[in-house]
Chains A and B, each alone.
Chain A
Amino acid sequence: MTIPIAAPIDARRRSREAGESVVDKRSLDDPRAELLELERQGELIVQKIDREAISVATKFGRIKRIQKAHLWHHKSCGQCGHIPGYSTSIFWVMRKLGYDYHDPHDQTSCTAWNYYASATSNTAAQAAVAVRNFAAAYETGYFPLIHCGTSYGHYKEVREELIRHPELRAQVRNIMAKLGKPLVLPEEIVHYSEWFHALRHEIAAKQVRDVSGIVVTVHPACHYYKIVAGDAIYDPDIYGGQRTAVVTGLAEALGAEVRNYSTWFDCCGFGFRHILVQRDFTRSFATMRKIEVMKEEAHPDVVLTHDTGCVTTLDKSQFAAKAHGRNVGVPVLSEAQFAALAMGAHPYRVCQLHWHSADYRPLLEKMDIDWEKAWAQFQGDLDRLESGEKRYLDWGDADGENDQGDFLTTPVSHKNDD
């Protein structure tokens, strides 16, 4: 009997005839070990975790270590550009926990949003962009922490390609030599939500606002746990280990009530090119398959997610749907913003909620945050900028060093000591 699958068989035969390994790439269940072996062979440099780290389990049991401090923040285009409170909340939480970091200027986008949208790039270019950023981190001694879910997923793809294909390594090494940089990859590729998950109990220990009355639905980001799935964090105590533990683990550690809904596996509808030039698809999917289902099945006060595109899509798609009378109207935040609010962050100076579209004010009120007072404080900040008293606000301003009083209306009753 002939099975009509010519191309995969041909590909295997070509690899065998070329003397290449025909080991299934899915056998790469420990990329760290593969990297260290390539380093031993002189093929590349591995940037090691060299500070205190927390061990967490990945989907198939491999232990992944998350470095706590001295981190090189690989920022996100969409976060910095369109939802800046996402980035500032990540920084703010890290500052409040007392962990040092570096916010670099010599970082580019991973360029993967464009690649998945337009395909106007190629394997070598994408790998070179990734390695250039990793080399920039390596030069500083700070360990990379990836803010964007797509950057994280794409860099894991790039790592697999570099491990598997010596010709690609040679090409990238040659390009890096022209830039005066080495071919270097980090020991672990770490998403910021993994850092938040690993440190969720430290975060909860700094909590000053009660969120026990807040109902949360979680949208897990596709590029976090579907691309190179074995590298995402799972925990038998969270969803019985059947879904990624990040975001949910943090929300539960903070004391929020996480509720289930049936379309949790569906993507948000971002689509990469669709969110920019084919938004009818994005709006429809985001509202009909995600927001409406969450509202009907879970009645959330807030949707928490952990990627740039997901926050943008789920938040921005609701306005047009509302005009059509759809059952929408729930705020969408990153879990970093939610954690920051729970730790006492200012909703505008730090979390920058005025860049969001879905109405977040009912959520703030339920968290006992006086958003009107907070907004007035922020307007006062803007007046200082407009008057020329200051050119820019800084972290001291974000923490209200010049304020009289606080915007928190009710003292905290919840303190999670889990």
Chain B
Amino acid sequence: MGHMFWLLAQAVEKTAPEKSASSGLQVDLPKVSADVTEAVQAWLNLPTNILLGVVLATLAIATAVSQWLQRRPPDNINPALIRRFDLRVRAWWLMCAILVFGLLLHRIGTVVLFGFVSFWALREFITMTPTRRGDHRALFWALVIFTPLQYVLIGLGRTSGYWRDGSPVDFYAIYSIMIPVYASLFVPARIAIAGDPKKFLERSAQIQLGLLICVYALSHAPALLDLRLFRSDGTRWTGSNAGLLFFFVLICQLSEVFFWLSGQMIGRTVIAKDISTSRTWEGLLGGVLATGLVGMWLWWVTPFEIWEAACLSMVVAVMGFLGSMTMSAIKRDRGVTDYGSLVLGHAGVLDRIDTLCFAAPVFYHLTRFFFSR
């Protein structure tokens, strides 16, 4: 399977230069466009496919273990724990399948996929928070206009069109500020126009926070695909940005596991017992170190040096931890255990992506600052 993708990547590589030649009517295309085709060439390269293979194999092993545990439960393990493990493995399969499906559909597919995830997460977020009748139009803007617009801008990215002087259009300048500037100023104004002053600040803050976390923050994950990455020694990185995105999502998911495991094993001091009884300082430390180690071990998928991969993984882990802590606080405030229980029988998307949401913008901007030109 992995080999097939590799061949596919090779085929794209062969056809790509012809394409750029036929569309090169404009006199002197800036150098950037050549780099963009270069990024297209390496959509899923060998290291990425190896990583995908490793993850799928790990999941297969996890499924086998979970099945075996369910068949003949050992006496010293809590059956509820086995059940939870099984549910978790299933959720990972689902996430992995969705992500791989998106990646197979290339850049646009991945962007659209994250767009749907954002939309669903914001839907859950707003369903959970109390809004008033006067918020209706503002909510319509948030869900139906700003959310798709953000992902359309991400999708346009840096590969679509040129200004009149021939310099390429980079939509980064719009999508990096669209929600923090335009949406977060527009939402309170729209609520004010609707004319209901009751709990005005709370209501605007809810919608702003929902847009910020579920849409703006998460959209930085597919935005990784548009970075032109360089190694820290200044050479162009020829790897796959899709692989970097997969690395990021994987590190986030693994950090959740490590936090849980180290919390179980060495957890003593609970950080905030009214928010979460299972999150401890020791668990945080152990989880961050473990994530750093794994990230270091996976450096070959990324443009980073070994120590850089370790540092960035630890930053991702810390941000993910803060994310799940924040979402727990919101859930506690609203009196729900998880977003999935809002509406019976549907899995809470927001529960699965809270770590991704907080880690994505920080990972994106650190990578952009240090590794892209």
Q: Do A and B come from one complex?
A: no
Which residues of A does B touch, CB under 8 Å?
A: none
